[in-house]
């Protein structure tokens, strides 16, 4: 599923779980093959963007017209060169934000005064800092140390495995999941919220637990003491030299912060689930699209469809419905997500609904959503990115 529709993986990669390097090589070769590199300004950070155009309050249609490019309105982007610290302002007609949700703005749980990392004599860091280290540096950082990893998501599992590899059963890494291997919510909620993707690769992970290199300690809540962490449930203490928060990122805040206007920012962060029409268009922010915020079982599967749809909109192949209609569509989707994902509905996951989503995209673009030949194939054969290739 993690494959561009027009760019197969090389035959040399046969494993179901390609390595980090293989994924990087695949993405690099895609960019080289389609000559994308010359179009990218590396070392550029957008510090903020401001809208210069008519007031958006009275519009019943997005941008006033339902089209990508209205007669008036520009965005000014202040861009910093991260090597020279020089800034430059770019004026553009349309902005597509692909900021990613799993980077840059760490989420760290809050602790009452005197119970947080400030009382801990070891080092408490967010996974972002650990991930930024070169492999060798990261290995040296944890070598021979008592490491506690907070969180049982993708990042937590990856870090725990790396620590286990360096330190072995003599110096096990303790992982603090919120719940047992059998979580309190249903498998269906796990599936729809995307939490199912956090399931460890059983082959390696459980072997490492069995050999004692990783210890799992259920901890719905915990606090710090001088020498480690204190698990509230049973008052047990886990000694640590290093505590790594693999507690995720605050994606909505990252998107919100890029808007200089607090009003636009509030439209992004003001609801528990970021409201995007077709998981892409903020109905009340003009000339802006956000891609990559909603994830599916494979992010490429969803992002590629959204990109194709976006190009159709930019080319004027279709118009958007009224803002009220878009709001209604978002509310319907919210309702559905609440039903199927429960308390995790805010995660902007499309897991399990990718085909439904792609159906909408195809209909908007005037394409037949039944992409395979024959009813039997459409009903029973799995759909992948290549089915949507034009
Ligand atoms: C541990 C882990 C495992 C994962 N495993 C999978 C997997 O197996 N399959 C899968 O499909 N997905 C997986 N994901 C999700 C993964 O994040 C996405 O697949 C993919 O990286 C999303 O791509 P993106 O381009 O949307 O965002 P990103 O890859 O996060 O890229 C966003 C880019 O925007 C840049 N940026 C941010 N703010 C600014 C700014 N102000 N100015 C300029 N640039 C900015 C960032 O520096 C970054 O380069 C995983 C994530 C994690 C953390």
The ranges assigned to domains in the chain are 41-102+251-388, 117-245
Q: Do domains 41-102+251-388 and 117-245 have the same CATH topology?
A: yes
Check pocket membership of 22 for ligand 1, CB cut-off 6 A.
Answer: no
Ligand 1, atom 27: closest residue by C-alpha: 100
Check pocket membership of 98 for ligand 1, CB cut-off 6 A.
Answer: yes
**What integer pLDDT is reported at residue 178 of this predicted model?**
78
Q: What is the pLDDT of residues 260-271, one digit of tens each?
A: 999 999 999 878
Give the 3-state secondary structure of residue 90.
Answer: strand
Q: In sequence order, which residues have a C-beta less than 8 Å from that of residue 120 and are 6 or more positions away?
A: 224, 225, 226, 227, 228, 229, 240, 243
**Nearest ligand 1 atom to alpha carbon 292:** 26
**What integer pLDDT is reported at residue 117 of this predicted model?**
97
Check pocket membership of 100 for ligand 1, CB cut-off 6 A.
Answer: yes
In which region does residue 201 sit, left (phi positive, over 0), alpha (psi from -120 to 50) or beta (all else)? beta
Among 76, 70, 72, which Cα is nearest to 95's?
Answer: 76
Burial of 46 (0-12, 13-18, 19+ CB in 10 A): middle
Separation CA 117–CA 110 (nearest Å): 10
Q: Which residue bears the tokens 């109905």? A: 283
**End-to-end C-alpha distance for the chain, whole angstroms:** 18
In which region does residue 303 sit, left (phi positive, over 0), alpha (psi from -120 to 50) or beta (all else)? alpha
**What integer pLDDT is reported at residue 196 of this predicted model?**
62
Ligand 1, atom 34: closest residue by C-alpha: 99
**What integer pLDDT is reported at residue 215 of this predicted model?**
93
Check pocket membership of 292 for ligand 1, CB cut-off 6 A.
Answer: yes
Q: What is the pLDDT of residues 321-377, one digit of tens each?
A: 999 999 999 999 888 888 887 777 777 777 778 888 889 999 999 999 898 888 888
Check pocket membership of 241 for ligand 1, CB cut-off 6 A.
Answer: no
In which region does residue 240 sit, left (phi positive, over 0), alpha (psi from -120 to 50) or beta (all else)? beta
Check pocket membership of 115 for ligand 1, CB cut-off 6 A.
Answer: no
- Identify the segments of the chain with pLDDT beneath 70: 179-185, 187, 190-203
Separation CA 291–CA 355 (nearest Å): 18
**Nearest ligand 1 atom to alpha carbon 301:** 11
Phi/psi at 73 (5° precision): 110, 125
Separation CA 209–CA 201 (nearest Å): 12
DSSP 346: G
Check pocket membership of 171 for ligand 1, CB cut-off 6 A.
Answer: no
**CATH code given to domain 41-102+251-388:** 3.50.50.60
**What integer pLDDT is reported at residue 101 of this predicted model?**
85
Check pocket membership of 46 for ligand 1, CB cut-off 6 A.
Answer: yes
Burial of 293 (0-12, 13-18, 19+ CB in 10 A): buried
Which pairing describes strands 242-245 and 123-126: parallel, antiparallel, or unpaired? parallel
**What integer pLDDT is reported at residue 386 of this predicted model?**
81
Give the 3-state secondary structure of residue 92.
Answer: strand
**What integer pLDDT is reported at residue 346 of this predicted model?**
75
Give the 3-state secondary structure of residue 258.
Answer: helix
Domain at 117-245, CATH homologous superfamily: FAD/NAD(P)-binding domain (3.50.50.60)
Distance 99 CA to ligand 1 centre (A): 7
**What integer pLDDT is reported at residue 317 of this predicted model?**
94
**What integer pLDDT is reported at residue 181 of this predicted model?**
59
Distance 373 CA to ligand 1 centre (A): 34
Ligand 1, atom 14: closest residue by C-alpha: 299
Separation CA 301–CA 309 (nearest Å): 13
**What integer pLDDT is reported at residue 166 of this predicted model?**
95
**What integer pLDDT is reported at residue 354 of this predicted model?**
83
Ligand 1, atom 41: closest residue by C-alpha: 46
Separation CA 106–CA 343 (nearest Å): 21
**What integer pLDDT is reported at residue 388 of this predicted model?**
82
């Amino acid at each position: 599923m993690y494959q561009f529709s027009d760019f197969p993986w090389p035959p040399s990669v046969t494993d179901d779980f390609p390595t980090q390097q293989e994924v990087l090589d695949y993405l690099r070769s895609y960019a080289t093959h389609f000559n994308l590199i010359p179009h990218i300004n590396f070392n550029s950070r957008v510090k903020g963007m401001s809208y210069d155009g008519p007031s958006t309050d009275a519009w019943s249609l997005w941008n006033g017209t339902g089209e990508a490019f209205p007669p008036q309105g520009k965005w000014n982007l202040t861009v910093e060169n991260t090597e020279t610290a020089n800034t430059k302002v770019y004026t553009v007609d349309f902005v597509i934000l692909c900021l990613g949700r799993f980077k840059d703005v760490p989420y760290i749980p809050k602790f009452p005064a005197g119970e947080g990392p400030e009382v801990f004599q070891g080092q408490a860091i967010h996974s972002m800092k650990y991930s930024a280290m070169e492999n060798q540096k990261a290995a040296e950082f944890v070598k021979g140390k008592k490491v506690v990893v907070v969180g049982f998501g993708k990042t937590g599992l990856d870090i725990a495995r790396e620590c286990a590899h360096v330190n072995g059963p003599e110096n096990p890494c303790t992982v603090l999941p919120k719940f047992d291997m059998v979580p309190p919510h249903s498998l269906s909620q796990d599936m729809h919220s995307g939490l199912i993707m956090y399931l460890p690769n059983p082959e390696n992970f459980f072997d490492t637990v069995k050999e004692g290199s990783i210890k799992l300690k259920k901890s719905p809540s915990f606090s710090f003491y001088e020498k480690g962490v204190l698990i509230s449930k049973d008052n047990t203490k886990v000694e640590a030299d290093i505590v790594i928060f693999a507690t995720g990122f605050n994606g909505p805040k990252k998107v919100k912060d890029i808007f200089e206007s607090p009003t636009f920012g509030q439209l992004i962060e003001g609801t528990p689930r970021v409201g995007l029409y077709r998981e892409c268009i903020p109905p009340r922010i003009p000339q802006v699209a956000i891609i990559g915020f909603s994830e599916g079982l494979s992010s490429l599967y969803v992002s590629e469809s959204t990109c194709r749809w976006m190009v159709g909109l930019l080319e004027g192949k279709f118009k958007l419905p009224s803002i009220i209609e878009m709001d209604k569509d978002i509310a319907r989707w919210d309702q559905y997500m609440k039903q199927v994902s429960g308390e995790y509905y805010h995660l902007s996951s499309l897991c399990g609904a990718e085909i439904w989503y792609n159906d909408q995209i195809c209909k908007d673009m005037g394409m037949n959503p039944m992409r395979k030949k024959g009813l039997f194939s459409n009903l029973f054969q799995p759909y992948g990115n290549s089915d949507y290739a034009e």
